[in-house]
């Protein structure tokens, strides 16, 4: 999740990278603007971890890197840096990187009502510009729904939506799993406050 950007002054990418390395909390950077990352809900966190657990056995022997939430992705050199919920890279430079991922193959964002529009519009626009990115995955934290944007020919991106009872497919990494695995242990009912 992102917080209000009014509290931060514009800075260059170099200033951001130096400043960010000393911060207690994470901040994304878009064309000079700083966006503070806020905490996430327990369902959001559970979904991200479930996705990682489902992917790990499939990917561990394939020579790739899979990171969750605290891995910074450089979407465009010196202008955009993000912290997706999950990122997968097969790039040799990314495999030995210590600070950020530059050539992701798959990016996953767990969406909530407060981030859904931003993740489906602006983030989709920014992520599509990453040459190595093959799939952008949006996992809803409020209902069993997964959206996959898959790179097609030229500038075309194909859109797939998966719902309860279906198996999601990530073609770029030859991965398939029942959608319910991503939502294991996740409750969609609102907690009632005690009087």
Per-residue model confidence as pLDDT tens digits over 82-126 = 999 999 999 999 999 998 999 999 999 999 998 899 999 999 999
Q: Is 195 inside any structural domain?
A: no
Q: Is 35 inside any structural domain?
A: no
Q: Is 3 inside any structural domain?
A: no
From residue 162, give the alpha-carbon distance in Å to each of 50, 112, 124, 133. Answer: 16, 17, 18, 20
Reading across the β-sheet that carries 27-30, which strands appear in turn?
33-36, 27-30, 80-82, 72-76, 100-101
Q: Is 67 inside any structural domain?
A: yes
User: How much of the chain exceeds pLDDT 70, in percent?
Assistant: 93
Q: Is 86 inside any structural domain?
A: yes
Number of structural domains (the chain) is: 1
Q: Is 131 inside any structural domain?
A: yes
Q: What's the domain range around 131?
A: 40-183
Q: Is 32 inside any structural domain?
A: no
Q: Is 1 inside any structural domain?
A: no
Please name the residue that has the structure tokens 């992705």: 73
CATH number of the CATH domain containing 152: 3.90.1570.10
Residue 7: pLDDT band with limits 50, 70, 90: low
Q: What is the pTM of this model?
A: 0.90
């Amino acid at each position: 999740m992102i917080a209000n950007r009014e509290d931060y002054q514009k800075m260059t990418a170099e200033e951001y990278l130096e400043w960010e390395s000393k911060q207690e909390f994470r901040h994304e950077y878009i064309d000079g603007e700083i966006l503070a990352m806020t905490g996430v809900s327990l369902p959001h966190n559970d979904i991200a971890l479930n996705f990682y657990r489902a992917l790990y056995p499939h990917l561990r022997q394939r020579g790739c890197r899979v990171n969750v939430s605290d891995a910074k992705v450089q979407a465009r050199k010196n202008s955009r840096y993000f912290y997706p919920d999950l990122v997968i890279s097969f790039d040799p430079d990314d495999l030995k990187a210590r600070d950020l991922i530059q050539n992701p193959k798959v990016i996953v964002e767990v969406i909530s009502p407060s981030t859904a529009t931003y993740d489906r519009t602006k983030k989709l626009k920014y992520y599509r510009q990453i040459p190595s990115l093959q799939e952008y995955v949006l996992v809803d934290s409020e209902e069993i729904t997964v959206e996959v944007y898959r790179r097609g020919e030229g500038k075309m991106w194909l859109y797939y939506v998966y719902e309860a009872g279906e198996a999601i497919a990530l073609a770029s990494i030859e991965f398939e799993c029942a959608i319910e695995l991503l939502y294991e242990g996740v409750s969609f009912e609102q907690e009632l406050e005690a009087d």
